[in-house]
Structure 1
């Protein structure tokens, strides 16, 4: 999260732990308190059934999230994250925050964008603008290159999504020419591939499969993520996960394996190469060659992976630009967009920015193939990569004698037949005057706004009768009353004890300490049910380990970690 400082420059705001980045993880602890960020991520290792990560991939889908005995929609989980960020921003700024610019993957569908706006409302925010993430990154880059006249490609590979945008820069204008991507591809897929290999190595060594063991799978993925990060700077790294499961004969078994960068890259290269096709598509849509691109800006944490940077460099014949922070550029760009809205940035810097529709939008029609009538044909009204906001009108004729109603079915996609595209919504327009087939005309207008929200207006030409559809009535969305009830429920649950205590920098767990933090969480919860004869030693080890970590005594922490792990394993 970011804001503009007094000079009109974007600056990141620290969260309640003093960190510049907040993991998008939500957890419910044993006392029924909600956690967001690092404390939730630590809990993921020991209580995956009460924790959710990567909710972005579920946005706009009817896939409920279960946290312990509670059920949430993906929109509600996203709202909890946004509420935590809002409160952190208020704490940092010393005032109330009611409006925000929220970034989304450029390849988010209409339903995903609507769900994101709903999440902002549930979090107590008016979402002034949904900004595509590569566009935000381009803003962060462009603010320091206002005099440049060039084409720029932004390659955005995050934890769960991939986007690419091609922009033209000239005289302070950032004009998005084309976008493409895959909203189901990201660094978590790299982690999953490596975790699967680690599971195979454990089974090979101990003769025990970890498939179906949720706790072990979560620990494997955490270990895989840590190894992936380490391999960005070293050629090989050990992966050690103590007491992962019982091995042959029921004895505790650990995973100990060395992973080389070369092996990891061979596992994920196919996934990385799949990002080349969206780049080529974006360049084709922008009517540019790769030689036309002056700068390649890489953002998103997964863009740090060496094989990603190498393949992008090979594709363009030169190294991507350094100097843009992969994790921070999007937030900084969002702050600039907020400044553009208020006039704070345009007055000082003279920046303008345009964006495009990432998908083709259209309706289902009938057409003639010779003497045969063909149903289910897709008729585009707004082609993909059209500059937004935009309004387009097409006129269609009735297809049957004495037809009195027209069904409008709105689709998104690139297929020539609607069966290959995504249905956004449908409605029926009544009151068509009866006449022979083709005599009556219906004008359909699509209006696609700067946030990627679609309005559809249908007008019967002969009578002027109109019907309007805002494409936001999908089953997984909440109506206004449901949104009000959900907002009140989330507020009650959040206020009942969501905010974890503020940690001192010394006690704050780093991402590499996630396993140790999870061990402390598990040990603390086990205190309540531990036998009386064991409880004093368990409590002593917990306190000693916390003290060692707070002091930064790694030797003592490693020893106490092993003792505590042994004791917990014995307790079962």
Structure 2
């Protein structure tokens, strides 16, 4: 398909979730969630490397068992993090593919691709998924897609969000805005609501993350009052509890460790995922696995009560986030008008019960599947100033997901912008010098909620030089944090008496332009290889189809000819039999001769037809 690279470009929203990805576009005055080439609205967030190409989505997921070491998934649990992060180490234990540490303590994925050992950063894997979503839009609209609103977990750090932006750049997309999944879903819930202001709590428990947002909406205005979440809590974690239980049961019964067999672990993981879903509608289920290990069949029965016990602490973490989001929004339970649950894991009966009981029996609402990406596309249309009365006066006021603060010369951490502060925002604090005749100050910008020095991730550090010599405490430095609507943070430091100043733009974890360009070029090459292989496969399939059609036509013709030969032989036999009859009946009666004549004429007629 020829893509029009001039003229109007589509406004799109993209959700690259831990388990599934999806994309939506604003078109014909409404949002459309687009199907992939298999006709599905959800694309598995899987990327596989083979001897010939890169596979994405269903094609990658379907070959997981036979190509496990080269099939990458769950990438949102690695992106923008350090290899030494305990949560990264926990995730690695459950991946069949290899993850190694880079010299700067970043996780890297090692695979075999086209006969070579290749090392990829998580940002490159995410870029492949984003590129796939971009391709779905371009194939559907016939227009080039260049910018998008991208959904991220509520508690993604500044480094993780920057990594998402880098992935977008590698995929040929400008990330106009990032929005948390629960906030985006709240927009889908509230867009058609009229009347006085309502406060809605959206709980999104997906495959890999928990997101919560309290949003006040009135007509087309949406104000986020607070967000909370857990980037290490989702459906995968419930699956892992079942997997761990089954591994222990198998060990107890057969004295064998399933973890030594990657293929067995993958089969068990899939079976436990099915069991979790089955327990949403049944009080017990059986995990059915034939010849799981050394020919041993494994059929453990798991009850809903057992499942609740195995996951008790995970449910407690959901409760903790509920309390936190209400606290950040300065609300109590009774202030919430609607409780909306989104994401596959909110179908777990215990989760539904937990939410209902927390809100004293309040009935729960569920929005449409794909609500989050629907909201993201709607926001994209607004940012792109699409001409539509449906977008008039539309306003979204978001909040900072994590606290931002400063440490000056190793003094106590000072929070400049508390989490759940409405953005854009600007805050200035004045700090004093800590020594006599101090000529510079060392400034560290951090992110997080820890109160102790060194307990929060450092986003950036710099020095302000040229401070005039003054007694301890008399030198005054104004430090300003300025966060815009796109989550870009500028930090400035100004010495009051002389006006010495320095401003930095925080780009935590940002890849250098040369590295992004290298990755972008390589991503385009992967896309070219996949497209070339797709065309080759299509040509091969077309040729194979033609060959089968030809073989079928030939077989049908042969059958027809065989039938004709058999009929001709039968007619020949009639002629021979008639001649023998004439020889044997030289004095045959006239009526007998006419009867035989009719038989021969009928045979001759059938032969000519």
TM interval, short-chain normalised: 0.7 to 0.9
Alignment of 1:98-113 (within 5 A): 98-113=146-161
Aligned-pair CA distance for 1:169: 1.8
Match of 1:292 in 2: 335
Q: Distance between the aligned counterparts of 1:499 and 1:284, measured in 2?
A: 54
Q: Does 1:171 align with 2:219?
A: yes
Q: Distance between the aligned counterparts of 1:448 and 1:432, measured in 2?
A: 26
Residue number among 356, 361, 379 corresponding to 1:318 in the alignment: 361
Aligned-pair CA distance for 1:134: 1.1
Query: CA 1:88–1:4 in 2, change beyond 3 Å: closer, same or farther?
Result: closer
Match of 2:477 in 1: 442
Match of 2:529 in 1: 496
Query: CA 1:498–1:402 in 2, change beyond 3 Å: closer, same or farther?
Result: farther
Aligned-pair CA distance for 1:28: 0.9
Match of 1:266 in 2: 309
Aligned-pair CA distance for 1:257: 2.3
Residue number among 433, 456, 460 corresponding to 2:468 in the alignment: 433
Aligned-pair CA distance for 1:319: 4.7
Residue number among 498, 502, 516 corresponding to 1:483 in the alignment: 516
CA contact (8 A) 2:26 2:378 kept: no
Match of 1:10 in 2: 31
Q: Does 1:277 align with 2:320?
A: yes
Residue number among 286, 308, 316 corresponding to 2:351 in the alignment: 308
Residue number among 340, 359, 378 corresponding to 2:382 in the alignment: 340
Aligned-pair CA distance for 1:364: 0.9
Which of 205-214 and 478-487 deviates more? 205-214
CA contact (8 A) 1:2 1:334 kept: no
Which of 82-91 and 482-491 deviates more? 482-491
Larger radius of gyration: 2
Query: CA 1:187–1:341 in 2, change beyond 3 Å: closer, same or farther?
Result: same
Aligned-pair CA distance for 1:270: 2.2
Residue number among 394, 401, 406 corresponding to 1:351 in the alignment: 394
CA contact (8 A) 2:339 2:365 kept: no
Q: Does 1:471 align with 2:491?
A: no
Q: Distance between the aligned counterparts of 1:404 and 1:150, measured in 2?
A: 54
Aligned-pair CA distance for 1:48: 2.4
Query: CA 1:338–1:473 in 2, change beyond 3 Å: closer, same or farther?
Result: closer
Q: Which deviations, in whole Å up to 9, do the C-alpha atoms of 1:267-290 show, x marking residues without a partner? A: 223202211111111111212111
Match of 1:255 in 2: 298
Q: Does 1:159 align with 2:207?
A: yes
Q: TM-score normalised to the size of structure 2? A: 0.76
CA contact (8 A) 2:207 2:345 kept: yes
Let me know the Cα RMSD of the aligned residues.
Answer: 2.1
Secondary structure, counterpart of 1:82 in structure 2: helix
Match of 1:64 in 2: 108
Query: CA 1:473–1:107 in 2, change beyond 3 Å: closer, same or farther?
Result: closer
Query: CA 1:257–1:500 in 2, change beyond 3 Å: closer, same or farther?
Result: farther
Q: Does 1:137 align with 2:137?
A: no
Secondary structure, counterpart of 1:165 in structure 2: strand
Match of 2:62 in 1: 42
Q: Which deviations, in whole Å up to 9, do the C-alpha atoms of 1:356-390 show, x marking residues without a partner? A: 01111111146xxxxxxxx5411111111110011
Aligned-pair CA distance for 1:312: 0.8
Secondary structure, counterpart of 2:182 in structure 1: helix
CA contact (8 A) 2:342 2:366 kept: no
Q: Distance between the aligned counterparts of 2:108 and 2:132, measured in 1?
A: 21
- Count of aligned residue pairs for this structure pair: 486
Match of 1:409 in 2: 444
Aligned-pair CA distance for 1:148: 4.5
Q: Distance between the aligned counterparts of 2:63 and 2:386, measured in 1?
A: 41
Q: Distance between the aligned counterparts of 1:52 and 1:320, measured in 2?
A: 39
Aligned-pair CA distance for 1:191: 0.6
Match of 2:266 in 1: 218
Q: Does 1:456 align with 2:500?
A: no
Q: Does 1:81 align with 2:81?
A: no
Query: CA 1:345–1:23 in 2, change beyond 3 Å: closer, same or farther?
Result: farther
Q: TM-score normalised to the size of structure 1? A: 0.81
CA contact (8 A) 1:193 1:267 kept: yes
Secondary structure, counterpart of 2:337 in structure 1: strand
Structure with the greater relative contact order (CA < 8 A, sep ≥ 6): 1 or 2? 1
Match of 1:51 in 2: 71
Secondary structure, counterpart of 1:377 in structure 2: coil
Q: Distance between the aligned counterparts of 1:269 and 1:276, measured in 2?
A: 11
Q: Distance between the aligned counterparts of 1:335 and 1:148, measured in 2?
A: 25
Structure 1 residue runs without a partner (length 5+): 247-251, 367-374, 505-572
CA contact (8 A) 1:27 1:52 kept: yes
Q: Distance between the aligned counterparts of 1:16 and 1:414, measured in 2?
A: 44
Q: Distance between the aligned counterparts of 2:324 and 2:477, measured in 1?
A: 34
Q: Distance between the aligned counterparts of 2:64 and 2:436, measured in 1?
A: 62
Structure 2 residue runs without a partner (length 5+): 1-21, 82-105, 542-609
Q: Distance between the aligned counterparts of 1:267 and 1:14, measured in 2?
A: 36
Q: Distance between the aligned counterparts of 1:155 and 1:358, measured in 2?
A: 15
